[in-house]
A and B are shown apart, each in its own frame.
Chain A
Amino acid sequence: MNSLTRTENQALTRAVLELDVNNHAGVMSHVVGLFSRRAYNVEAILVMPVGSGQTSRIWLLVNEDERLEQMVKQVEKLEDVLAVRRHGAEHEVFVRLEEFFL
């Protein structure tokens, strides 16, 4: 977590990113490396294989700041990232997981 206070953190607008990726060791490192080198905190991550397991879906919960546009473009450039979709914080994927973090 970054150094923001809880109140500041809650005040930030969040965004949910949905990535379709090739499913192999290393894909996650490629994705999160783009965030960590920019000191751009990823608040939550969820990954599961899709269908036959050839591909996976990565869900990321991130703070919405002025760099997000550039972040999405950088993620789209990764060879193993097939598609990136951007959702608002109201997306329920992480909301439904909250009971596991009580």
Chain B
Amino acid sequence: MSREAPESLSGAQIVVRLLERQGVRTLAGIPGGAILPIYDALSASKRIHHVLARHEQGGGFMAQGMARATGLPAVCMASSGPGATNLLTAIADAKLDSIPLVAITGQVPRALIGTDAFQEVDTYGLSIPITKHNFLVGSADELLQIIPRAFRIAASGRPGPVLVDIPKDVQNQVIEVAEWPAPGSADALPPPAADLIHAAAAMINEAARPILYLGGGVVHSGAAAAAVALAEKASLPTVMTLMALGAMPVDHPLSLGMLGMHGARCTNLALDECDLLIAVGARFDDRATGKVAGFCPQAKIVHIDIDPSELDKIKTAHVGIAGDVGAVLQLLLPAVDGALHVDWLARVACLKAEHPLRTPGIDDPRTPYGLIRAVADCLDDEATITTDVGQHQMWVAQAYPLRRPRQWLTSGGLGTMGFGMPAAIGAALAEPQRTVVCFSGDGSILMNIQELVTAAEEGVNVKIVLMNNASLGLVFQQQTLFYGERIYASKFKGMPDFVRVAEGFGVAAIDLDAAGDPRAALAAALATPGPMLIHAGIEMREQVLPMVPPGAANKDMIGG
């Protein structure tokens, strides 16, 4: 607590002051009746820049973009009722990808709670299963504990979203504040058990065909360099989940890229042969493992995770270590023998040579892989890449040369179409020095298209590469492959003119299809400061390959 001259402040002013003290400088949201006192207090803040989203879900994803780019908790706000329900998808998305988020919602006055008042919804009840924790604030005084605690919970251990629902009368309640609580920050964690570190090191030292399996926890923990160091010391071929891309540079000699449903054949086949799987900050998600019984069937498992409930959840670990993966890797590193694994690396090299990721059209910017490569050729590793959800997301995950942790922001667990553009806006607000590229599709972009005007208003350096195949591509692909080519409700009949749509929202746009030299047009567009939509038509029948059919083992891939 810090002592200052006592002040009479409303709950709303206390919220704003606590956010300022917390270090929040940018937040996103939309006002409404039940949160107007907080917005009134916010209007007096000289420190906080409020970004006016055009849909609360967009505001939630902007906050996510800030949090994913920086690793720090970010804030979004909404009013009661529909404001709060609109925010829920962005909160659920943050829960599944372990993103630190503090969502502040207005609620009807306490006297009206439970009366079906105008714009009343049970925000507390609705948010229980999709938050790490949530609060319904009972008095202005409670805010002094709850707001710092919300940030502490969001950032501690396995990060996640926290919702604080504040009734309007609590926002208006005036109290004397003489002492201010310290800003909330992540709790220190107990050190990992030394005997488990030795047991894990012994297993790594004994393994003949080990594979290192990195998950999003490596990025959250800031442990990418330690993970790469471990891989290099013990010569561990390394696979990454969708969430971990960037943790090891994809062109590192030990990298096998992304595993799972759309991983390269060589990656999934190497996993099929490994005798030890070292899972670090990864949770054995079904899109990564395929049929669990067929995942690494010969392997013993070392599982390191900050969340004890992830250990033994899907696969029983021979050694399970609960702890911050960065701290565990630091202890593991000196305990692991330097190894060459000559035979195993030769076998992996052979698999890579025989079954590489196939990227047809990579030299032609009018194909999916070629377009992604052409974008990458215009940028360096300082650029941040976001995606929406669908075929474009998987193509970018496969083919973009990601080399930096937090370079890659994508909706993994929830798989939310509409994530990419507002998340890109948030990332650009948090790190204005970077170029932020959002790869999107014609299905996804429409799910939060209204945020184009927010991008224009804020002048953010966001480039939207819109891969337009006039369909819901991944649905089209599954109907083609698994539903007897009965294409239904996945081909769009009406198609907006996306260039004019963007221009109508105040965002400059180009159509690569009409460009004589698409590479030059792309380079010019990416080099122009401010928001820009880059439209590129692609062939509807293009597929993301290889593909593990849902429910099959990873070694049973189609195509590629």
Q: Give the B-binding residues of A (Cβ under 8 A).
A: 25-26, 29-30, 33, 37, 69-70, 73-74, 76-80
- Which B residues are CB-close (under 8 A) to A73? 308-309
CA distance A30 to B307 in the complex (A): 18
User: Are the CB atoms of B313 and A33 closer together than 8 Å?
Assistant: no
B312 to A26, Cβ gap below 8 A? no
B313 touches A26 (CB 8 A): no
Cβ contacts under 8 Å, A25 to chain B: 136
Q: Is the CB of B124 within 8 A of A74?
A: no
Distance in angstroms from A43 CB to nearest chain B CB is 22
Whether the pair A37, B307 counts as a contact (CB closer than 8 A) is: no
B129 within 8 A of A: yes
Q: Does B133 interact with chain A (Cβ within 8 Å)?
A: yes
Contact check, A37 vs B129: say whether CB atoms are below 8 A apart: yes
How far is the CB of A69 from the nearest CB of chain B, in Å? Answer: 7
Question: B128 in the interface, Cβ–Cβ < 8 Å?
Answer: yes
Q: Which of B158-176 contact A (CB under 8 A)?
A: none
Is B125 part of the binding interface, using a Cβ–Cβ cutoff of 8 Å?
Answer: yes
A77 touches B307 (CB 8 A): yes
* Interface of A, helix, strand, loop or mixed by DSSP: helix
Pick from A26, A69, A76: contact of B124, CB under 8 Å? A26
Contact between chains at A77 and B129 (CB < 8 Å): no
Chain B: minimal CB distance from A75 (Å): 9
Knowing A26-B136, A79-B133, A79-B153 touch, does A33 contact B128 (C-beta < 8 A)? yes
CA distance A69 to B132 in the complex (A): 20
Given A30-B128, A33-B129, A77-B307, verify A69-B136 contact (CB < 8 Å): no
Tell me which residues across on chain B come within 8 A of A30, comparing CB atoms. 128
Which B residues have a C-beta under 8 Å from some C-beta of A? 124-125, 128-129, 132-134, 136, 153, 307-309, 312-313
Specify which chain A residues have a CB less than 8 angstroms from the CB of B312 in the assembled complex. Answer: 69-70
Quick one: closest A residue to B307, CB to CB?
A: A77
**27 pairs, A vs B, C-beta closer than 8 Å:** A25-B136, A26-B124, A26-B128, A26-B134, A26-B136, A29-B125, A29-B128, A30-B128, A33-B128, A33-B129, A37-B129, A69-B312, A70-B309, A70-B312, A70-B313, A73-B308, A73-B309, A74-B309, A76-B308, A76-B309, A77-B307, A77-B309, A78-B133, A79-B132, A79-B133, A79-B153, A80-B133
Give 15 A-B pairs besides A26-B128, A70-B312, A76-B308 with Cβ atoms closer than 8 angstroms.
A25-B136, A26-B124, A26-B134, A29-B125, A29-B128, A30-B128, A33-B128, A33-B129, A70-B309, A73-B308, A74-B309, A77-B307, A77-B309, A78-B133, A80-B133
- Chain B: CB-nearest residue to A37: B129
* Closest A residue to B312 using CB positions: A69
**Complex CA distance for A88 and B76, rounded to whole angstroms:** 45
B309 cross-chain contacts in A, Cβ below 8 A: 70, 73-74, 76-77
Q: CA of A37 to CA of B312 in the docked complex: distance in angstroms?
A: 20
CB-defined contacts of B125 to chain A, threshold 8 Å: 29
Q: Which residues of chain A have C-beta atoms less than 8 A from B129's C-beta?
A: 33, 37
Give B113 Cβ to nearest chain A Cβ, in Å: 11
CB distance from A73 to the nearest CB of B (A): 4
Tell me which residues across on chain B come within 8 A of A37, comparing CB atoms: 129
Shortest Cβ gap from A72 to chain B (Å): 9
